């Protein structure tokens, strides 16, 4: 008894203690007072040869980073497109005094990362190896050797890289988008092909180096465990002897948005997803007066997991794993594009290719026609401010800001005033930016996907046309199906032979198939029975309960079950059921009186199209096995035209003929997919007519 009381007291005590601790979780905590964000200036100085140096000290780790950044506008590459990429691979592989092996070994011995490219070079590593690092970087940048052998090796790799991209939908999409948006008279639009890579010679690399590598067009950024005095001494010691020269500046044709929206497609056979993009050049340069309004507009539309694109395409529709947009500034031209967050356009469910674009355009127009809410404005501002605050955790950011101000000739306090400018943006500013920069009616819509989705894209084009492109971005005719000399009769005969031949088929007097099917998380039991000459039964049930049953007995076709009962003794339903009541209904196609057309070969399958009036059925017979691999029915329903797809796999021999053991049925427009797996098939067990009721 005493023990019990103790327990009760203990319990009471617990309750009291818990109660005292209980927090009202329904109250969302508010922010503590904001802390000041401090932006340190970078130290800058210029060497006598024109090299501008930017230094940010950060002594918290024993690491230093040096980066030489060329600021140039090189000539177009023309029929040598890809030259600068090859230059990047070859420069820094050997110098006048070091072979490739020596250089690689010396870099690795200090565990540093040192690289050169067509835009400059960089080195990072432990402070204790700083002088060695700089000796190597300076050697690579100032005394490079461009060898034929290294060029050949990298040409081979470049060709392989092209092959790699040609099997990557994202890579193809970016290639198409860039070329279409920028055009061939702008560096980002030039397109590398096997031929243009072949055209690059060692002399081209040398010419590029001697024309553009000069201290007077370069900035040196130094970040890390270093003092300004050390930085000065090192800059002078390792890059002071680099000689100044006159560097030419090229003029490009500035890309313009298309006057009306165009649709471009690359056909990727059997793609389960389409890569979509909607993209166009915009007039958005660094330091633009409406830059912060643009940032807020881009954030609201597609800046991360709270953007309207993400919420619509992913969270509401499950079309995609990620959909975002970007408004990128550029020194000469900016860009609007969609993104999957990893560098290509969003990958969307193939069946939702057109619906996804509809939603993207809807969201763009909505930003134009309706002001964003004050709450959205506040949220986007906080997001941008937070992002800015986090960017300062990296000392390299301070150097980057200093370079940006210098390069684009902006006021010294440009970044110090960034948060103030963000704060000043109004809802009206954002709508004005949306009007100016969101122009879905002057865009390129670029899709990489199976051509079966092309028709749905026509309405997006002002001219109602989907223009196909090949890998080298040449406009091509819509991909054609291969022709075949086989007649419908031959194809059907091949199929009949493949499943066992006429004799074997006719020897089947009855069969019963038991299967299970997964549909929307439920396990369904499926039974199919046939008995010659004219009995069939299809039933579908769940946990022993019949959901639907369809019986044909030669006289009537009866459907019964949870959705109600129906009976047909004539008409389309009756005729269809009658035709299906057979071991091999395809055998009778030619006798049916329907128009049967051979469409050719696609996807390794002969295609037969049968027009049954309100339904159009397409059969795909495998070229190699002769077997039916797929069947599509296009049915006109009150809700519009619906496509149903059945795929047949895993044929197995039972009672002398082949039956598919796996049948997948899909209604792509509704995202329905049901897989039926056969558990058992029995043949000629003497089913009685009584069982077909």
Partner 1 sequence: MTKKTLILSIFVLIAGFTATGQEGNIKFTEYDLPNGLHVILYQDHSTPNVITSLMYHVGSKNEDPERTGFAHLFEHLMFEGSKHINRGDFFKIVSSNGGELNATTSFDRTYYYEFMPANQLELALWMEAERMLHANVDTIGVTTQKGVVIEERKQVVDNAPYGTWMEELNKRLFTVHPYRWHIIGSPEHIRNSSFEDVYNFYKTYYVPNNCVLVIAGDFEESTARELVQKYFGDIPAGTTPIVRPTVVEPPLGREVRDVVYDKIQLPAVFIGYRSPAMGTKDAYALDLLTSVLSSGKSARLKTNLDDKGLAMQTIALNMEFEHPGALYMVAIANAGKTAEEIENAMNIEMERLCRELVSEEEFQMVKAAKEFEVASELTSLFSVANKLAEGQTYFKDAGRINNQLENYSQLTREDLLNVAAKYLVKENRVVLYFLPEPQNN
CB of 323 to partner 1, least distance (A): 10
C-alpha span between 192 and 172 (Å, rounded): 12
Handedness of CA 383, 384, 385, 388 (dihedral sign): positive
Q: In this chain, which of 43, 49, 117, 662 binds partner 1, going by CB under 8 A?
A: 117
Q: Residues 348, 407: contact at Cβ < 8 Å?
A: no
**Total residues binding partner 1 (CB under 8 A):** 104
Nearer to partner 1, 350 or 507 (CB): 350
Q: Is the CB of 166 or the CB of 250 nearer to partner 1?
A: 166
Contact (Cβ atoms closer than 8 angstroms) between residue 552 and residue 535: yes
Q: How far is the CB of 553 from partner 1 (least distance, A)?
A: 36
Question: Dmax over Cα atoms in the chain, in whole Å?
Answer: 104
Q: Are 86 and 93 in contact (CB under 8 A)?
A: no
Q: Should residue 15 be labelled a site residue for partner 1 when binding is judged by CB under 8 A?
A: no
Residue 650 touches partner 1, criterion: CB under 8 A: no
Q: For partner 1, which stretch binds (CB under 8 A), given 166-174, 499-507, 606-614, 638-646? A: 166-174
Binding-site member from 8, 10, 109, 478 for partner 1 (CB under 8 A) = 109
Q: Which of 75, 77, 81, 89 binds partner 1 (CB under 8 A)?
A: 89
Kindly tell me which residue out of 45, 209, 252, 321 binds partner 1, with binding defined by CB under 8 A: 321
Alpha helices in 91-129 (DSSP H): 100-109
What b/e readout covers 362-372, taking b as 16+ CB neighbours within 10 angstroms?
A: ebbeebbeeeb
For residue 266, the minimal CB distance to partner 1 (Å) is 14
Q: List, in order, residues 6 or more apart from 37 with CB less than 8 Å away.
A: 388, 389, 392, 419
Q: What's the closest the beta carbon of residue 595 comes to partner 1, in angstroms?
A: 27
Cα-based angle 332, 336, 338 (whole degrees, multiple of 5):
145
To the nearest whole angstrom, how small is the minimum distance from the Cβ of residue 397 to partner 1?
Answer: 8
SS (H, E, C) 537-552: EEEEEECCEEEEEEEE
- Residue 375 contacts partner 1 per CB under 8 A: yes
What track of x and - describes contact with partner 1 for positions 597 through 616 (by CB under 8 A)?
A: ----x-xx------------
Q: What residues numbered 260-279 form the site for partner 1, per CB under 8 A?
A: 269-273
Query: Which residues between 343 and 372 bind partner 1 (CB under 8 A)?
Result: 347-349
User: In the numeric block, which tokens belong to residue 622?
Assistant: 């495998």
Asked if 564 is part of the footprint of partner 1 (rule: CB under 8 A), the reply reads no
- Spell out a b/e string for 481-508, using b for 16 or more CB atoms within 10 Å of the CB, else e: eeeeebebeebbbbbbebbbeeebbeeb
For residue 378, state whether it binds partner 1 (rule: CB under 8 A).
Answer: yes
**Candidate residues 1, 5, 34, 475; the one interacting with partner 1 per rule CB under 8 A:** 34
Nearer to partner 1, 223 or 550 (CB): 223
Should residue 396 be labelled a site residue for partner 1 when binding is judged by CB under 8 A? yes
Span 616-645, contacts to partner 1 by CB under 8 A:
623
- List 521, 533, 593, 638, residue binding partner 1 (CB under 8 A): 521
Minimum distance from residue 14 beta carbon to partner 1 (Å): 11
Chosen residue from 79, 156, 506, 611 binding partner 1 by CB under 8 A: 156
**Contact mark string toward partner 1, 179..208, x via CB under 8 A:** ------------------------------
In angstroms, the CA 89 to CA 201 distance is 14
The stretch near partner 1 (CB under 8 A) out of 258-266, 314-322, 429-437, 576-584 is: 314-322
Is residue 77 close enough to count as binding partner 1 by CB under 8 A? no
Nearest residue (CB) to partner 1, 390 versus 435: 390
With binding defined as CB under 8 A, does residue 22 bind partner 1?
yes
Yes or no: say if 319 and 352 are a contact pair by the CB < 8 Å rule: yes
Answer yes or no whether residue 103 interacts with partner 1 by CB under 8 A. Answer: yes
Contact region with partner 1 (CB under 8 A), list: 374-382, 457-465, 539-547, 647-655? 374-382
Please report, for residues 508, 524, 560, the alpha-carbon distance to residue 565 in angstroms, rounded to integers and kept in the order given: 31, 20, 4
Q: How many CB atoms lie within 10 A of CB 39?
A: 15
Determine the Cα–Cα distance for residues 647 and 628; give it in Å rounded to an integer.
8
Question: Which three-class secondary structure state does DSSP give residue 658?
Answer: strand
Residues 512 and 526: their CA atoms lie apart, in Å, by 11
Angle at 197 between CA 194 and CA 203, to 5 degrees: 160
Closer by beta carbon to partner 1, 230 or else 575: 230
645: nearest Cα among 624, 669, 623, 625: 669
Residue 76 buriedness (CB in 10 A; 0-12 / 13-18 / 19+): middle
Which tokens sit at 626? Answer: 């002769």
Q: Judged by CB under 8 A, which of 15, 233, 382, 653 binds partner 1?
A: 382
Smallest distance from partner 1 to CB 408, Å? 20
In 3-state terms, what secondary structure has residue 138? helix
The correct pick among 99, 227, 394, 483 for binding partner 1 (CB under 8 A) is 394
* Site membership for partner 1, residue 157 (CB under 8 A): yes
Q: Does the footprint of partner 1 cover residue 107 (CB under 8 A)?
A: yes
């Amino acid at each position: 008894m005493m023990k019990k009381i103790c327990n009760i007291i203990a319990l009471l005590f617990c309750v009291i203690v818990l109660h005292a601790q209980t927090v009202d979780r329904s109250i969302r905590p508010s922010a503590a007072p904001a802390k000041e964000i401090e932006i340190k200036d970078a130290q800058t100085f210029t060497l006598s040869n024109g090299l501008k140096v930017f230094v940010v000290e950060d002594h918290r780790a024993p690491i230093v980073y040096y980066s030489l950044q060329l600021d140039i506008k090189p000539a177009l590459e023309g029929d040598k497109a890809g030259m600068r990429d090859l230059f990047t691979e070859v420069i820094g592989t050997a110098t006048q005094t070091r072979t490739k092996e020596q250089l690689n070994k010396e870099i690795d011995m200090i565990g540093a990362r040192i690289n050169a490219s067509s835009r400059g070079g960089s080195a990072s590593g432990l402070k204790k190896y700083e002088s060695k690092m700089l000796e190597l970087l300076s050697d690579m940048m100032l005394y490079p050797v461009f060898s034929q052998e290294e060029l050949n090796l990298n040409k081979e790799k470049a060709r392989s890289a092209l092959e790699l991209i040609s099997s990557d939908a994202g890579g193809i999409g970016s290639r198409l988008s860039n070329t279409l948006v920028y055009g061939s008279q702008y560096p980002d639009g030039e397109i590398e092909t096997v031929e243009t890579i072949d055209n690059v010679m060692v002399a081209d690399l040398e010419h590029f180096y001697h024309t553009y590598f000069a201290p007077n067009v370069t900035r040196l950024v130094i970040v890390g465990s270093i003092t300004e005095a050390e930085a000065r001494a090192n800059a002078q010691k390792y890059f002071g002897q680099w000689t100044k020269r006159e560097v030419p500046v090229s003029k490009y044709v500035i890309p313009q948005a298309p006057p009306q929206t165009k649709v471009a497609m690359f056909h990727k056979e059997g793609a389960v997803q389409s890569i979509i993009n909607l993209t166009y050049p915009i007039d958005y340069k660094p330091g633009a007066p409406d830059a912060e309004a643009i940032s807020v507009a881009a954030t609201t539309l597609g800046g991360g997991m709270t953007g309207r694109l993400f919420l619509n395409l992913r969270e509401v529709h499950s079309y995609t794993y990620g959909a975002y947009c970007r408004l990128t500034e550029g020194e000469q031209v900016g860009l609007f594009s969609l993104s999957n967050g990893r560098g290509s356009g969003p990958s969307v469910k193939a069946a939702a290719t057109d619906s996804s674009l509809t939603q993207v355009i809807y969201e763009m127009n909505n930003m134009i026609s309706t002001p964003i809410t004050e709450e959205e404005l506040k949220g986007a501002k906080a997001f941008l401010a937070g992002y800015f605050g986090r960017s300062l955790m990296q000392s390299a950011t301070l150097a980057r800001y200093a370079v940006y101000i210098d390069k684009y000739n902006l006021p010294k306090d440009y970044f110090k005033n960034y948060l103030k400018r963000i704060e000043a943006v109004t809802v009206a500013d954002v709508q004005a930016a949306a009007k100016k920069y969101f122009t879905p009616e002057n865009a390129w819509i670029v899709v990489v996907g199976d051509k079966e989705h092309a028709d749905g894209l026509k309405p997006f084009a002002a001219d109602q046309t989907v223009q196909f492109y090949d890998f080298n971005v040449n406009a091509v005719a819509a991909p054609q199906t291969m022709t075949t000399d086989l007649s419908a009769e031959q194809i059907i005969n091949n199929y009949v032979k493949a499943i066992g031949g006429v004799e074997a088929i006719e020897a089947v007097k009855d069969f019963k198939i038991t299967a299970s099917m997964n549909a929307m998380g439920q396990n369904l039991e499926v039974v199919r029975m046939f008995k010659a000459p004219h009995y069939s039964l299809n039933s579908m049930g769940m946990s022993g309960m019949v959901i639907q049953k369809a019986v044909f007995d030669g006289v009537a076709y009866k459907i019964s079950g949870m959705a109600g009962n129906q009976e047909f003794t004539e008409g389309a339903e009756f005729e269809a059921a009658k035709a299906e009541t057979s071991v091999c209904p395809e055998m009778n196609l030619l006798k049916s009186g329907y128009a049967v057309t051979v469409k050719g070969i696609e996807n390794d399958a002969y295609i037969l199209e049968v027009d049954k009036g309100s339904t159009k059925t397409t059969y795909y017979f495998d070229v190699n096995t002769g077997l039916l691999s797929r069947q599509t029915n296009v049915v006109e329903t009150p809700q519009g035209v619906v496509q149903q797809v059945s795929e047949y796999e895993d044929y197995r021999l039972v009672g002398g003929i082949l039956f598919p053991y796996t049948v997948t049925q899909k209604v792509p427009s509704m995202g329905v997919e049901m897989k039926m797996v056969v558990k058992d098939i029995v043949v000629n067990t003497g089913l009685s007519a009584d069982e077909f009721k």
